[in-house]
């Protein structure tokens, strides 16, 4: 019987990936094909402001139609059109005596480096729609339920940039564009972008603790600790499908059982980054980062989990997180959804098409 090497075992896990029902599949392709007209001429500031106005109006009307069905804020926050998994929320919370309601949400890392998924490293309409969604959500909660509501979006770009080994210029360019969109164009007032890495560094020796945790994990993996290995296998597929392949060879993502040398090297790198992610998550949980850094805030999340307030990144019509693909504008209903770049049937110079993707935003 042929022995299976550790890397081969990890590669086999790609075919048995746990599917997050709130995020479409990372391995299978061509399930969300959309005929899209690619607008290759850069969208200038004035044009983008018009798009933002339309998106704000749509989001306001959509959420208003939802909030009008509820008598209290908890009921609203548990609505399936707002919360993708109400049963996991901390429904024992009572906001009736509060004057302020603040949520922290980890989100907005740099775009996936897999060029089957994304076209550029910079924020696009996906991030724009996300920022608008949370702004309108906070505004309506404040107005309807008379609570001073805000969202602190813990921007993951810097922290995850370290874990993924991304170039500093890529992270800085992403952050600069994101801040410009938020402050100058969308004009967020109830959404605050917070550098998550900067906050984590307030915890004593945080990154040194991550390093030590990483060394411990490697020892557990080397001694075949099944609990740790199962955790590794559960995270590995997402990392494998997100990191940049050498020379942008996208065939690596398509033929994941070829066992070529290039595939194994890509898998080795994905394994190292997965261990980084595991060490990071274990350290911040052990140090109770949210409780210590944001003691007065409710814990929000885009990835539903027990005792967290879950939120859609954009809306219930959307199947992906902003960093997983490109933002595409549906010109018929003024909704933005996210799709893998490979799954867009590109139709250039056909402005009558229903979907638009702006290849460049010039601000």
- Find out whether 344 and 357 touch, Cβ atoms under 8 Å: yes
Residue 73 class from Cβ within 10 Å (0-12 exposed, 13-18 middle, 19+ buried)? buried
- Find out whether 328 and 358 touch, Cβ atoms under 8 Å: no
User: Residue 25: beta bridge partners?
Assistant: none
Confidence band for 24, pLDDT divided at 50, 70 and 90:
very low
**For residue range 42-88, what is the model confidence (pLDDT) as tens digits?**
888 898 999 999 999 999 999 999 999 999 999 999 999 999 999 99
The pTM is what? 0.91
Confidence band for 3, pLDDT divided at 50, 70 and 90:
very low
Taking 90 as the threshold, does the pLDDT of residue 260 lie above it? no
**For residue range 145-175, what is the model confidence (pLDDT) as tens digits?**
999 999 999 999 999 999 999 999 999 999 9
**For residue range 194-234, what is the model confidence (pLDDT) as tens digits?**
999 999 999 999 999 999 999 999 999 989 888 999 999 98
d(CA 316, CA 21): 12
Confidence band for 5, pLDDT divided at 50, 70 and 90:
low
Give domain limits for the chain: 42-89+99-203+295-320, 216-286
Confidence band for 23, pLDDT divided at 50, 70 and 90:
low
d(CA 363, CA 361): 6
């Amino acid at each position: 019987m042929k022995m299976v090497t550790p890397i081969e075992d990890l590669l086999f896990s790609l075919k048995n990936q746990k599917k997050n029902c709130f995020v479409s599949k990372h391995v299978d392709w061509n399930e969300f094909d959309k005929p899209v007209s690619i607008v290759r001429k850069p969208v200038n500031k004035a044009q983008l402001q018009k798009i933002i106005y339309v998106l704000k109006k749509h989001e306001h009307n959509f959420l208003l139609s939802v909030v009008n069905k509820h008598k209290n804020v908890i009921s609203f926050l548990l609505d399936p059109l707002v919360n993708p998994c109400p049963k996991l929320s901390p429904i024992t919370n009572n906001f009736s005596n509060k004057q302020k309601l603040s949520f922290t949400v980890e989100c907005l890392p740099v775009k996936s480096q897999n060029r089957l998924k994304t076209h550029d490293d910079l924020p696009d309409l996906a991030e724009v729609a996300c920022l608008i969604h949370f702004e309108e959500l906070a505004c309506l909660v404040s107005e309807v339920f008379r609570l001073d509501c805000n969202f602190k979006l813990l921007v993951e770009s810097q922290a995850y940039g370290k874990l993924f080994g991304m170039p500093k210029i890529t992270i800085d360019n992403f952050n600069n564009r994101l801040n410009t969109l938020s402050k100058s164009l969308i004009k967020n007032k109830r959404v605050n972008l917070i550098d998550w890495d900067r906050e984590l560094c307030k915890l004593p020796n945080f990154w040194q603790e991550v390093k030590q945790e990483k060394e411990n994990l490697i020892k557990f993996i080397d001694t075949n600790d099944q609990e740790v290995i199962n955790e590794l296998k559960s995270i590995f597929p997402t990392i494998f499908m997100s990191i940049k392949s050498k020379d942008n060879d996208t065939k690596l993502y398509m033929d994941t059982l070829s066992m070529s040398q290039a595939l194994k090297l890509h898998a080795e790198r994905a394994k190292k980054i997965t261990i980084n992610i595991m060490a990071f998550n274990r350290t911040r949980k052990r140090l109770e980062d949210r409780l210590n850094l944001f003691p007065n805030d409710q814990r929000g999340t885009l990835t539903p989990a027990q005792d967290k307030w879950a939120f859609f990144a954009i809306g219930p019509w959307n199947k992906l997180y902003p960093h997983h693909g490109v933002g595409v504008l549906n010109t018929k209903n003024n909704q933005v959804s996210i799709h893998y770049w490979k799954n867009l049937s590109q139709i250039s110079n056909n402005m009558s098409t229903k979907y638009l993707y702006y290849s460049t935003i010039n601000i």
